[in-house]
Structure 1
Amino acid sequence: MQDMVWGRAAVTAHGRLGLVVAAGGQGRRLGAGRPKQHALLAGRPLLERTIEALEACPEVEAIVVCVEGEGLERWRRLLLAPSHPKVRDVVSGGGTRALSVRNGLHRLVELESVDWIGVHDGARPLVGCGLVRALMERLAASPHLDGALPSLPPNDSIKKIDGRGMIIQNLDRSRLVAVQTPQVFRAEVLLRAYAQPDGVLAAATDDASLVEKVGGRVGAVPGEWRNLKVTNPLDLAVAEMLLSEDGCGGC
């Protein structure tokens, strides 16, 4: 696939892709005494590392970032800068991940005309451009799909338990996957999914589940093991190590 670059916009044969980055969580499990997006990863804020990784991908046209209210102005100063040319805006979160993403979606389509919208966790700073490309290629090759997401086979056996902690079912691991982000969808389908009532949004496990509720069809591509979500100190240490191996320990 060859990208066509018109001015600042990278337009691919698959259509224009915009991203909403959800970074409104408090990150209590990280134990840093502050929201995890503020945690330093190789000397730079975790969220900024995520944005830089996405901006490196030619498929990505524009990014809107959703953050917690008290850090909004700080992030606007940092991310709405010439050093982040694909960031179009930084908006306040909505109290939950789903409501924050909805805010970001509305702002993105106000600012940009996009065919596809991806939603990515701000705490996944090691996302690779190869993964973004694989998602777009799956969608281009499968016109019946409304979206695609990265998935990985579970390492451990999975069991279902009841409210007392008793095992009630052994699940077939060969039919199960763990899903990652970014999850990419047709813009109009994702907007319709996020137009559902707040209660439906609050109960959703991820963006794909909302799309499925409005009849959308979602496919999967192989995920990346290094595309980990930083939720605890061990995750942060692993991410530091991987960045160092990439030669980016101090960049």
Structure 2
Amino acid sequence: MGKVNALIVAGGKGKRMNSDKSKQFLNIQEKPLIHHTLEKFSMCSDIDDIYLVLPEDEVRYFEGDILKRYNYSKPIIIVKGGRERQDSVYNGLVSMKDCEVVLIHDGARPFVSDDIIKDGIRYASLYGGSAPGVKVKDTIKVIDEHGFSKATLKRDELVAIQTPQCFKYSTILEGHNYIRENKILVTDDTAALEIIGHKIFIYEGSYDNIKVTTKEDLTIAELIINGR
């Protein structure tokens, strides 16, 4: 079997945090957010290599302030990001060799569990593509261009998708090649497979597996760590 690699995309700029520092470098309990994320994958026995995609102007900072400070048990290969998130993912994918399964993860999701990682690998091997998700708690409305509701979606059919999104390497590379050649913009990597006709198996995620985007999320992140 080929390698099982993690591809972590860390390109957030922290605009919604009102911070000059990119959000992946903001601290949660005195350690950078991106360190918490890398540590989860580094500690997972099923992961071989970790590919970290960063904006070109942040590579030196990461190497000097984080990579040298913390000891990771898995190799971390740094890849320069692209203009859009999907360009960054593509750069990461084509950097890999001898990869069988790849897990594409948001750098700003520091609370992914070992079970979610291992389940994703297992289901990707079985079905070609998988992603964790949680049932939505709120009623979801569809609104028109004037802000009025025009439909109510069935809550029991809705799932909020998280990462890591896990794939057979050859399959997700095919999907990304297709959207790249046809100039299609997607919001996540599962969409790249759906466009070429593949179904994605959705398995159980966790409400703790949040994406840190706002100042309020940082507060929640502190609570999650304290609760653990």
Residue 99, structure 1, aligned to residue 87, structure 2 = yes
Cα separation, partners in 2 of 1:130 and 1:215, compared to 1, 3 Å? same
Tell me which residue corresponds to 2:37: 50
What's the CA shift for 1:89? 1.2
CA distance in 1, matches of 2:190, 2:216: 28
Asked if 2 retains the 8 angstrom alpha-carbon contact of 1:65 and 1:90, the reply is: yes
* Percent identity between the two aligned chains: 29
Q: Secondary structure in 2 aligned to 1:168?
A: strand
Tell me which residue corresponds to 1:63: 50
Asked if 2 retains the 8 angstrom alpha-carbon contact of 1:96 and 1:202, the reply is: no
CA distance in 2, matches of 1:80, 1:148: 33
Moved more, 194-203 or 70-79: 194-203
What's the CA shift for 1:81? 7.6
Q: Secondary structure in 2 aligned to 1:229?
A: coil
CA distance in 2, matches of 1:26, 1:176: 29
Give unpaired runs (5+ residues) of structure 1: 1-10, 247-251
CA distance in 1, matches of 2:208, 2:183: 28
Query: TM-score with structure 1 length normalisation?
Result: 0.84
Asked if 2 retains the 8 angstrom alpha-carbon contact of 1:21 and 1:63, the reply is: yes
Residue 49 of structure 1 aligns to which amino acid in structure 2? H
What's the CA shift for 1:17? 1.3
Residue 37, structure 1, aligned to residue 24, structure 2 = yes
CA distance in 1, matches of 2:14, 2:135: 25
CA distance in 1, matches of 2:147, 2:181: 27
**Following superposition of structure 1 onto structure 2, how do residues 87-166 of structure 1 map, counting pairs within 5 Å?**
87-109=75-97, 113-140=98-125, 143=126, 145-166=127-148
Asked if 1 retains the 8 angstrom alpha-carbon contact of 2:101 and 2:121, the reply is: no
CA distance in 2, matches of 1:108, 1:83: 22
Tell me which residue corresponds to 2:13: 26
Residue 178 of structure 1 aligns to which amino acid in structure 2? A
Residue 127 of structure 1 aligns to which amino acid in structure 2? V
Tell me which residue corresponds to 1:195: 177
1:40-65 Cα deviation digits (max 9, x unpaired): 11111111111011111111111100
Tell me which residue corresponds to 1:240: 222
What's the CA shift for 1:200? 5.5
Cα separation, partners in 2 of 1:139 and 1:119, compared to 1, 3 Å? closer
Cα separation, partners in 2 of 1:228 and 1:204, compared to 1, 3 Å? same
What's the CA shift for 1:187? 0.4
1:107-166 Cα deviation digits (max 9, x unpaired): 123xxx2210110000000111011122233345xx3x1111001011100011122112
CA distance in 2, matches of 1:175, 1:87: 40
Q: Secondary structure in 1 aligned to 2:187?
A: coil
Cα separation, partners in 2 of 1:201 and 1:226, compared to 1, 3 Å? farther
Cα separation, partners in 2 of 1:242 and 1:208, compared to 1, 3 Å? same
Q: Secondary structure in 2 aligned to 1:208?
A: helix
Moved more, 59-68 or 27-36: 27-36
Q: Secondary structure in 1 aligned to 2:218?
A: helix
Asked if 2 retains the 8 angstrom alpha-carbon contact of 1:21 and 1:119, the reply is: yes
Asked if 2 retains the 8 angstrom alpha-carbon contact of 1:63 and 1:108, the reply is: no
Tell me which residue corresponds to 1:249: none
Moved more, 190-199 or 55-64: 190-199
